[in-house]
Structure 1
Amino acid sequence: MTASQAPGAREGRTIALPAIALGAGLGGFFDGILLHQLLQWTSTMWDGIFHAVTWLAVLLALGLLHARVTAGRAGLLGRRALWGWVLVGWGLFNLVEGLVDHQILGIHHVRDGPARLWWDLGYLAPVALLVAAGWLLRRGARR
């Protein structure tokens, strides 16, 4: 039996998209609420668009997860594969946001000033670890 045919392998694929979307939305909420609103590190028109996109990601994820759970997979929310993919999505969202918004487009930075590159890199390092942790958690899920 190959790894793709192992029991549980199909389940991991069926929850990957909704779990990544959920992780991206939750990661965006965390970033937007903590950094943008509470710490007020940025304040631009793009914040509203940013929050709308993260909300839509969570809405999409919940719809997809509902479809998966009601298709006979009760108990799915407690599984390591789901939460591993959620961490992957959370980290991927913040990696893409950090690279595109901070570095490529320069819309904003984590903190302005002479050390802004170091702030930006300090932001990217832990979110890269989120992706790795999620990937490892997902891989360790029961097959």
Structure 2
Amino acid sequence: MMTNPTLHRTPLLAAGILLGAGLGGFVDGIVLHQILQWHNMLSSKLPPDTLVAAKVNMYWDGVFHAGVWVLTALGLRLLWAAGCRPDVPWSGRTLLGGLLLGWGLFNVVEGIIDHMVLGLHHVHEYTAQKLPWDLAFLAFGALLLLAGWALVRAGRHDTAVRGAAVR
């Protein structure tokens, strides 16, 4: 099937990427910060071993969650706008690919900046071997990027319009 040059996939892809980055941040914050309690935003620089340090870490975890909430809200706004455009084909592969790209970008950027460069925290702060956990986080991000790219590429020929079957 030939690609229709009048169709624009970028709005759907951009929405997916922002949603993926926001939702990936929520997974990090909810699972690693709150449920498993492996780290906080500043746990390498300010171990939460006193009430004051725990409160400071909790504050910065909240700032982090507010930031990923904004990414998610912006992604929803872009998704709504894309849904109102007749020139944007609905493609589950493009949207899911964008979500995976966004989550992968979140992991790679956050992993490089916070874990490696700034050393604000590590994936598993309270273990002797921090580097393998940080590298696994980055590798997972790279896998998400590859899977997302493959899905976006596979969806480049999807041409479903509103009311038609979505692929």
- TM-score, normalised via structure 2 length: 0.75
Q: More displaced, 99-108 or 43-52?
A: 43-52
Distance 1:74 1:99, change over 3 A: closer
Distance 1:8 1:107, change over 3 A: farther
Which whole-Å CA distance do the structure 2 matches of 1:31 and 1:54 have between them?
10
Number of aligned pairs? 138
On the 8 A contact 2:15/2:79 being kept in 1, the answer is: yes
On the 8 A contact 1:91/1:128 being kept in 2, the answer is: yes
Larger Rg: 2
Which whole-Å CA distance do the structure 1 matches of 2:22 and 2:68 have between them?
4
Superposed CA deviations along residues 15-59 of structure 1, whole A, max 9, x for unmatched, are: 221110000001001111000000011132321111111100000
Q: 1:16-95 alignment to 2 at 5 Å?
A: 16-43=13-40, 44=57, 45-72=59-86, 76=90, 79-95=92-108
Q: Looking at secondary structure, tell me which structure has more helix per residue.
A: 1
Given residue 84 of structure 1, which amino acid in structure 2 is its aligned partner? Answer: G
Q: Percent of aligned positions with the same letter in both sequences? A: 47
Distance 1:142 1:74, change over 3 A: closer
Q: Secondary structure at the match of 1:67?
A: helix
Instruction: Give 1:114 deviation, angstroms.
Output: 3.0
Q: More displaced, 92-101 or 107-116?
A: 107-116
Q: What's the RMSD between the two structures over aligned residues?
A: 2.1
Instruction: Give 1:70 deviation, angstroms.
Output: 1.5
On the 8 A contact 2:7/2:89 being kept in 1, the answer is: no
Superposed CA deviations along residues 108-132 of structure 1, whole A, max 9, x for unmatched, are: 0011343111111011111110010
**Structure 1 stretches of 5 or more lacking a match?**
none
